[in-house]
Structures are given as C-alpha cells and as structure tokens.
Amino acid sequence: MRRTLDIEALAPGGEGVARDEGRSIFVPFTAPGDRVEASVPAGGGTAHAELLRVLSAGPARIPPPCRHFAIPEAVSPPAGPGDVPHDRWCGGCEWLHLAYPVQLAQKSRALEETLRRIGRLEPGSYVLRPVLSSPQPLRYRSRAKFHFDRESGRLAFFRRRSHQPVRLRECHLLEEGLDGLREAAGPALRDARLAPREVTLVWSAHAGRGAAWLQLADLGPAVRQRAESLLQAVPALQGLVLSADGHPPARVGEPVLLQERVPGDPAGGLSRSRPDVFQQANRAANAVLTRAALSLLAPEGEDALELFCGSGNFTVPLAGCARSVAAVELQGPALDLAHLDVREAPGAASGPGGAAAPARCEVRFYAGDALKMAQALARERGPAAPRFGRALLDPPREGAKGIGPVLRDLHVPRAVYVSCDPATLARDLKGCVAAGFRVAEVQPVDMFPQTHHVEAVALLVR
C-alpha cells in the first residue's frame, strides 16, 4: 500500500526509519528529514518498504552524482546515453545521497549502539574517539568485485537485494584508473570468449596498471590461451589469477602489484597486492587505520604478537617500532606476500628458520589458524616460553570468538583489536572483559564512504 512517510533517522543498516501507525518502517535511499512516498507491506510490526518518490528533501540530502544510483525525484541525475531503467538502483552504494558529515555521525552512533546492545559496553565506560574520515569520500576504491553480464559484455554490480545486474558505465567509488580498467575489461572478456562467474579487479596507482582474478568454470588449455589474449587486448592489465573448483590457481602474466602504503608518498614504503588475496580496498584510509592502530597499541620496544596478519598490512609498520614480531596467518598466497614485504622492507635481513628481520626487529611468521596457534603459544612453559608485551589482531568479518581467554593466558597487558564488523567486535570485546580486560578506547575509521559500514580499532588493557 502507498503511504506518505516522514524519515526521522537512519538505522544501523543504512536505511531511513519512519513511524506509521505505530510501526517502524525502514526505507532505503532516504535521509533524515525527507518526506517520501513508499510502498509499505500490509500487516503489523516492522516492515521494509520500497521508495517510490521523494516528495521533499531533508537537510541531509545531496544530489547523487552517479547515473546508476536512481532516486525517483526531480533532483535525480539525468539518464545517460544507453541507460535503461534496470541499470539503475545499483546496490554498490547506500548513501550517495547523504552529506558526508551526516554519514560519519551516523557511523559513530551506530557503532556505539552496537557496542552497548551486544557488548554490554555502556557509553562513557570507554573513550569513543571521533570517527576518522576517509581522505577521499569518492573515488577511493583500488579494488572491487564485479559480476560479468554475458549479454552486454559489461561488468556489473547487482541491484539492491536482487541478482539483477546493473551494467556499469561509471562508478564513483572506484579510483579513476580502476574505473577505466572496469570499462575496458568487460568487452575484452567477451571478445576473448571468457565467461567468469566473478571478476575482481585491483589497481595500483604506483604502477599505473592493474590485475584481475577470474573465477571460471574450468582451467583447460583453451581457457589459458584466451586469458593470454585478454592480457594482450587490455594493456592496463599486468596479470591474471585464474581459479576454478577442483584446480589450483593459475597465474597469467604478473598479477602481483606494488602499492604505496601511503598513497602519493612512495617514500612511505611499498607493499604487494594480488587480486585473489584480501587487502583493504581504500588504501588512503588504510594508511589512516594503520596509524591509529599503532598509536593505540604503543608497541615501541615491545615483543608483539600479530594474529590474522594476512598479507602483512600491519606487519612491516609494526616491525618498524616493536622489538620483535610473531605474525600468524594460514599458509597460502597472503602469507607469501607478507614474507616478501618484510624481507624487502628497507634495512631488512633474513633470519633463520623462515624468519625475516628488519635491522632492529626480528619478524617470525607462523603458518596456521591464528587462535589455535595463540593457544599453543600460551601453553608453553619455562624460561624460553614466548611472552608478549603487545598483541594486535585483525580478524575477518566473523571475528575472533574466544580471543579474551587466549590473550589472558598469554599474559598480554595491552592489545588492539581491528574490526570490520561492529557486531562481532562487540561480541568479542564482551568476552575480553569477562577474561579480565578493560576496553579503554575505541577509534572508528571510515573505510567505506557512501555505505553504512565502519571499521573500528579497540584498545584492550588488562
């Protein structure tokens, strides 16, 4: 049924919230202060509505710059050449219509509420620092995952809550180089007669080139020949990683890219990326995140344990100030990249037994499950048992359930937890408090402008 609604606030998941006859109604692509017309499901209780029209705009609303971000209102951007209705309502952005300061304030509120509701951490029991903004609210992504639309030969995102492709002709989240690579890659994949299920593109502004990960149905000789022709057709592609179920990944060209740790500052050091290995998509905000995490950790002169080290995002910066680093990650290409980055860092030297050491810091890598390895280290006894003055962990979205007792048994006095998911962070911090730690500070960082997602760094003190 059609209803006229006044949007009062934003929900933690990014939708606008209105009240209608006692019901809470969630409406996507709306802003506080908007008056909208929406299609609301019949019945009682909470409902998710479909936005039909914006009747009047609230003070937080701004005109979205992208043709694919459709808002049914007079200020919506005009359709571009070749646009059709189903190439709008893109699910890549949620808040392209919201002023950036409003986005930041909402992320801080949502994080605080999640920590209170799930973690039982009351506001005021810890210091919530002001959210650190992304250096670029637009054009910030150096990597992105796409779907390949065979019919049009274009890379696509899906429409919101749908598997209907939005065949992209622009994306204002992507760095200019990555957006250009996206535009070239779709037609080139069709011409090469490749039909990947998913395509991940990575761009290096430092190298001026990119790499791709193609998830395919098979990896036969004909597929590899077509992949070679794809590289020849797209000069901006430096290399490919090809994967298919039941086959080890295959490399074509050189898919490992050198990236500046601080974009625009090569003197700040380089790191390696590969399209099939997770790394932060917002490299400028990642530099902000790294500084914030190390500032809270205060690892100078300490023996540090790094859990979930991945491809070494924090390892080299941590090694620049700690006395030693024990870094743990599952065996695989991410750990290989971390080894190389540490070994080739300025002033680095190789240590025995797989260790790599910058001149003033020994870095030793452990291949295995991070929590199990940490538990094993905690069980060691005697004068030679490892003890750590600091711990840093950066787990995947599912978090690190049970980390509190592990840090307690390791006798770590100070730890930093980096999280991309407030819900699992809140759950795990609750467990850390039960294990004898205090949550001293929490630092939100905006890694994904134009979406509701927020990164957080939490400082734990025994």
Confidence of residue 224 (pLDDT cuts 50, 70, 90): very high
Mean of the pLDDT values across residues 68-87?
56
- The pLDDT, as a whole number, for residue 259 is 96
Domain ranges of the chain: 2-61, 143-260, 282-461
Asked if the domains 2-61 and 143-260 are classified in one and the same CATH topology, the answer is yes
- pLDDT-based confidence at residue 344 (cuts at 50, 70, 90): confident
Least-confidence region, from 30-34, 352-356, 380-384, 394-398: 352-356
Average pLDDT over residues 94-103: 95
CATH assignment of 143-260, among 2.40.70.10, 2.40.50.1070, 3.40.50.20, 1.10.3720.10: 2.40.50.1070
Q: What is the mean pLDDT of residues 164-169?
A: 91
CA distance 249 to 267: 33
Largest CA distance in the chain: 73
DSSP state of 63: -
Handedness of CA 428, 429, 430, 435 (dihedral sign): positive
Phi, psi of 326 (to 5 degrees): -110, 110
Per the prediction, the chain carries an average pLDDT of 92
State how far the Cα of 78 lies from the Cα of 382, in Å rounded to an integer: 71
Q: Is it true that domain 2-61 has CATH number 2.40.50.140? A: yes
Residues classed as catalytic: 420
Q: How far apart are CA 310 and CA 328, in angstroms?
A: 8
User: The domain 282-461: what is its CATH number?
Assistant: 3.40.50.150
